[in-house]
Amino acid sequence: RPDNRVNIVEVGPRDGLQNEKKTIPLATKIELIERLAQTGLSFIEAGSFVSPKWVPQMDNSSAIMEHLLTKNVISPVPITYSFLAPNAKGVANATALLRDHQGAYMTQTESLAGVNGKPAMELAVFAAATESFSKRNLNCDIATSLERFRDVIQGAKQIGIRARAYISVVLGCPFEGYEVDPHKVAEIATSLLEMGADEISLGDTTGMGTAPRTQELLRCMAAAGIRSEDIAMHFHDTYGQALVNTAVSLERGVRTFDSAVGGLGGCPYSPGATGNVATENMVYFLESLGMETGVDLDAMADIGQWITGELDKPNDSAVGKAVLGA
Ligand code: HMG
Ligand code: MG
C-alpha cells in the first residue's frame, strides 16, 4: 500500500443514524448506503446487531445486510460492509444470515486475493476504555465484555470474514472525564488483537481529544508493540479538534480514519457528544495533504446535503456546504 493512500471508513449509516430520535425508513437507509457505495469508498459501516430495546434505530440491520447480500449494489471499487455485534446473540443473528447467503459475499481470503463482484462483510465489537462507559454502553464490565467479544471474533473468523474492534472513550469519558489511561487502552487493544481482531478503531467518542493527548495515546500504543497499520482513528468533532487529531495520527503512521457524511452521529450513551468528523471535511483535508482517499468529494457533499435534509438537521460539514455553495 503506498504511504499516501488513506482508507476512509464511512460510519454514517450506523454511527450517524443510531442516535436519531426520528424513525428513519428502511428505504432511506438503503438509499444512503447505495449512494455512498458509488463515491469510491471501500469501507461502509451499515448497521448494528444490538438489542432493539437499547438502540431502536438499528432494528432493521438484518434487512440491510440481506439487501446488500441479495441486490447487486453498484460500486466503482470493492466494498467491505461492517456491522456491529456485541454479544452471542448479535453474532448468531449476523452469521446465520451470512450462512444463508454463502457465496454472496467475499471471504477475507478472497478479498485479499483481489476477487471482485461481491461485497465483503465484517463484524465489529466495541469495548470501552473506562468501566463507567462499559457499564452504560454494554451493561457489563470491561473484562466481561472482552470475554463476549472473543466469541464474536471467533464467529466472524469461522465464516472467514474480518473482525474489527472499537475501543470507545479513549481520549475522554462522559462519566470519568479526561483521566482515561492510555496504557489501559493499549492493554485492551492487545487483548483484542490476540483474539484475532484485524483492526482496532480508537474512538474519541466525546470529541474531548486534543493533539498532545492523541500523540501520547499513539505513543503508548507503539510502546506496547501495536503497529500503526492495525489502528484506525474514530474522531467525533464535538470540540472541533478532529482534523488536528487526524494530522497527529497521520504523523504517527495511521492510515485508516472513520468519518460520517454530513457530520452525522453520536453515541446514545455519550450525553452531549455530537457527530463524527464529516467525511467531506476528512476527504478535503487529506487530499490537501497529497493523500489519496479515492472518494469523490462532490458526490459526498451532495449526499451530506440530502441526508441531513431527510433528518431535518443542519448540514454539519463546513466543506460540504462550501463545495455546494450552500
Ligand atoms: P443486556 O440487557 O445486558 O442483555 O444488554 P441481555 O442479554 O440481558 O438481553 C436483554 C434483551 O436484549 C433480551 O431480550 C435479549 O434477547 C436482547 P428480551 O429477552 O428482554 O426480549 N438482546 C438482543 N437483541 C438483539 N440483538 C442482540 C441482543 N442482545 C441482547 N445482539 C447489550 C447487552 C450489549 C445487548 C446491550 O447493552 C446493547 O445492545 N447495547 C448496545 C449499545 C450500542 O449499540 N451502543 C452504540 C454503539 S457503540 C458506539 O456508538 C461507539 C462507537 O461509535 C465508537 C466511538 O465513538 O467510541 C463504535
Ligand atoms: Mg462513534
> 126-154, pLDDT tens digit by residue?
999 999 999 999 999 999 999 999 999 99
Which has the closest alpha carbon to 86: 52, 32, 45, 49? 49
Which residues, including other chains, have CB under 8 Å from residue 257's CB and lie 6 or more apart?
A: 6, 7, 8, 9, 232, 233, 234, 235, 246, 249, 277, 282, 286
Which has the closest alpha carbon to 84: 54, 107, 42, 50? 50
Exposure on the CB side of residue 191, measured as CA atoms within 13 A: 21
Interval 209-225: pLDDT, tens: 999 999 999 999 999 99
Across residues 42-67, what is the average pLDDT?
Answer: 97
Q: Identify whether the C-beta of residue 294 lies closer than 8 Å to the C-beta of residue 255.
A: no
Q: Identify whether the C-beta of residue 32 lies closer than 8 Å to the C-beta of residue 307.
A: yes
Q: Please report the pLDDT score of residue 115 as a whole number.
A: 75
Interior/surface letters 112-132, b for 16+ CB within 10 angstroms, e for the rest: eeeeeebbbbbbbbbbbbbbe
- Is 164 in a helix, a strand, or coil? strand
137 Cβ inside 6 Å of ligand 1: yes
Mark whether 140 is an active-site residue: no
Candidates 51, 54, 208: which one to mutate for ligand 1, based on the most atoms within 8 Å of Cβ?
A: 51
The model's pTM is 0.97
- The answer to ipTM > 0.95 is yes
Candidates 50, 83, 147: which one to mutate for ligand 1, based on the most atoms within 8 Å of Cβ?
A: 50
Calculate how far, in angstroms, residue 205's C-alpha sits from the geometric centre of ligand 2.
5
- Ligand 1 atom 8: residue of nearest CA: 139
- Ligand 1 atom 1: residue of nearest CA: 139
Q: Identify whether the C-beta of residue 165 lies closer than 8 Å to the C-beta of residue 192.
A: yes
